[in-house]
Amino acid sequence: MLLLSILPLFFCSVLAIRSDGGSSFAEELSLTPLPNGHLHTNFNFNITSSEFASQSNSSSIISNFNIFPNSLINLLSQTNTKNLSIRFTSGYWNSESWGKLPHDGHTSGGNGLELWAKIEASSKEEAFTNWRFLVNSLSGFFCASLNFIDETITTFPEYSFGNTHDQGIYLLRAALPREPICTENLTPIIKLLPTKGRAGISSLLDGHKLFDSKWVSTSIDLNTIDSHNSQEDSIYYKLVINLNNVFNVPMSLSKIKRPLPKPIPGEELNCDYDKFYDAYHCFPSNVYNEGLSFDLDKIFGRKLKIDEKIGDSKICAYVNKTANGELIPENEKQNWELQGVLSSQNKETGHLLFAYAGLDENNCYSIPNKPEKREEFDYKLELKNSYNNIRISDEDKPKIYVSRSITGYELDKGGFRIVFKNPGDEDIDLIYFESLPWYLRLYLNSLKIVQKSLDQQDTVNNEEIIKDISYVTAIDRQRPAKLEMVMKIPKQSIITVTYSFDKSLLLYSEYPPDANHGFELESAVVTLIKYQESTSTSEPKEFDPYYVLRTSTLLVSLPTPDFSMPYNVIILTSTIMALIFGTVFNLLIKRIISEEDYEKLLEQAPKKNLQYFIALLKSKVKSTFQKSKKD
């Protein structure tokens, strides 16, 4: 877990073997057990392009590439994009129980889809035009509704997302919290890999299993890196793909045994034998006394395939090491054994390829190079001791817990309540980033901060919590509100920030399909920072982000009209109007007379033949002439 988190994201330390063309590929699957039978798996793919002169045109670049996905490069050069980050996330990372996010949160996003990019442009407008081009192209690329990213949800973060404030470089960011993440997003990602999911660890990727987990987060980071190796001004691209999952192992295993969630047969029940127990009574227990052993393909649903090697490929297990890489003493060790079994026609006769002892000092197993023929491997992972022994060490606990919720239940107004809990002994500096759709009208003057100690006692503390605030107000139908707060959360305290908003009415056509579901708000992004100890007293101070976390997405319900109602009303009122008009008209105009009277009247009336009409016309003409004469 910790080893994972130490790895800096963008300059991943996985040894990259540079092939002749300068491009390289490395992949790594790491497995980290979490408490309560959970298993965190991380597929990490690193692809580096060959170097090329920064001024060369895209076609000449592409002709040099062999393993790097060309399609992305085209897009990047067309839109002048320097860095591109995409996050697909669904589910909930339970940091109370599972500790820190993998890679210190740098590879996970908020629920739904998140995208940010650094675009080189001469003006903000040009950057935005490029951004629109980029997201529209990516939309087809990743089978996601990225094309819905427009000016109403795009923000320009000030402090978060590694903004470097370079001249001519614009950082744009947008999120689609409503985007469901599923298998169709996985396929394009696999296609980016040189192995195309046919060999190496990517052969384990099966959408059915990956998306049947408790938490899924996929990250794609594409960076343009200036090369300092050579004399001339050359650059290369680096693509890092991370697929993070959390599986519940007992659940995954029982799903294979019983695809339907049928009740477990009585004899297989895992009971707490300290409590009353017989054929009818069973207090459930999470303790697996015999330990839990499972094969890797039971979790991923596929077997590992090996083909001619393209890059460095290994499987790592991080469990019996401390943060310093020291082995945990034998008596405290959580015996997790990684065993590879070469499968043949007869599984029993398959021979052991490697066992726990065969792992290298990093607890990794390198997938063998160039096997004689295509082989399929079964990797058997055994967890000998009980799962209950797995505890999150203090170092792996997040330094801060942040939760955000909506208060109130009214349709016209509401409020946000953000709780920062710092249980540690150090003050924490952080940046709180939030982008809100324009239809929420934020009242920043209602912002209130309450500081409490950990045992919920109110403390009067005049310490300044919010150091700096960057707020861009929303413009209706044009721009979202962006709120960035640089904060300091005092040690051993709970800070509650509340502020309220009004909900505005939307136009008829602005409601999304399923408007009665409510409107989803993207997660807030909390970046923990450390200020650099700079000699200069320049403001603002430089800082390094060391941990990123996101709150869960929220749902607001706006006043939603009953869309069929206008039609009903129109039809009903029209009918009533017609009926009433007819009746009233009759009552006012119609006369009841006897038949004889009618006949008499008929006789008196002038006959409407041709002569009558001629006479009528004549009299009309006459009258007009007389009138004009008078004038």
In the complex with another protein, which residue's Cβ is closer, 37 or 197?
A: 37
In Å, what is the CA distance from 434 to each residue of 92, 316, 386? 19, 36, 41
Q: Which residues bind another protein (CB under 8 A)?
A: 36, 90-92, 94, 96-97, 111-112, 177-178, 180, 212-215, 248, 251, 254, 260-266, 269, 271-272, 275-277, 279-284, 286, 403, 405-409, 417, 419, 421, 494, 514-518, 520, 552-555, 557, 560, 562, 586-592
CB 362 within 8 A of CB 316: yes
Coil vs helix vs strand at 420: strand
CB of 411 to another protein, least distance (A): 8
- We find the least distance from the C-beta atom of residue 520 to another protein, in angstroms, to be 6
CB 260, min distance to another protein, A: 7
Q: Which is nearer to another protein, 287 or 444 (CB)?
A: 287
- What is the per-residue DSSP string for 366-413? EPPSS-SS-EEEEEEEEE-S-GGG----GGGS-S-EEEEEEE---SSE
Q: Which is nearer to another protein, 263 or 606 (CB)?
A: 263
At 496, list the tokens. 């509650």
CA distance 209 to 268: 24
CB of 494 to another protein, least distance (A): 8
Q: Is 458 helix (H, G, I), strand (E, B) or coil?
A: strand
| Shortest distance, position 517 Cβ to another protein, whole Å | 5
Residue 553, C-beta contacts closer than 8 angstroms, at least 6 positions apart: 110, 111, 112, 177, 520, 521, 522, 523
Closer to another protein by Cβ: residue 171 or 494: 494
Which residue number, 265 or 329, has a Cβ lying nearer to another protein? 265
Task: Please report, as a single letter, which amino acid is at residue 120.
Answer: E
Burial call 579-618: b when 16+ CB within 10 Å, e when fewer: eeeeeeeeeeeeeeeeeeeeeeeeeeeeeeeeeeeeeeee
Please, what is the minimum distance in Å from the beta carbon of residue 294 to another protein? 17
Least Å from the CB of residue 409 to another protein? 5
Beta strands 401-407; 304-306: pairing state = unpaired
Contact 519, 411 (CB under 8 A): no
Smallest separation, CB 327 to another protein (Å)? 30
- List of long-range contacts for 129-134, beta carbons under 8 Å, 24+ apart: 130/79, 130/80, 130/81, 131/79, 131/172, 133/78, 133/79, 134/75, 134/79, 134/81, 134/84
Nearer to another protein, 136 or 552 (CB): 552
CB of 386 to another protein, least distance (A): 13
The smaller minimum CB distance to another protein, of residues 127 and 497, is found at 497
Strand spans (E) along 473-537: 481-489, 493-503, 519-521, 525-531
Cβ contact 124:103 at 8 Å: no
Residue closer to another protein, measured from CB, 279 or 460: 279
DSSP 431-449: EEEEEE-TTEEEEEEEEEE
Residue 318 contacts residue 1 (beta carbons within 8 Å): yes
140 vs 512 by CB, closer to another protein: 512
Tokens matching residue 416:
């946000």
Note whether 455 and 492 are within 8 A (CB).
no
Least Å distance, CB 97 to another protein, is 8
By C-beta, is 215 or 336 nearer to another protein?
A: 215
Q: Would you say 260 or 610 has its CB closer to another protein? A: 260
CB of 232 to another protein, least distance (A): 49
- Joined together, the tokens standing for residue 503 give 């909900």
Amino acid at 367: I
Q: Closer to another protein by CB, 77 or 498: give it.
A: 498
Using CB atoms within 10 Å of the CB of residue 260, give its burial: 0 to 12 exposed, 13 to 18 middle, 19+ buried: exposed
The DSSP call for residue 155 is B
Closest distance of CB 166 from another protein, Å: 35
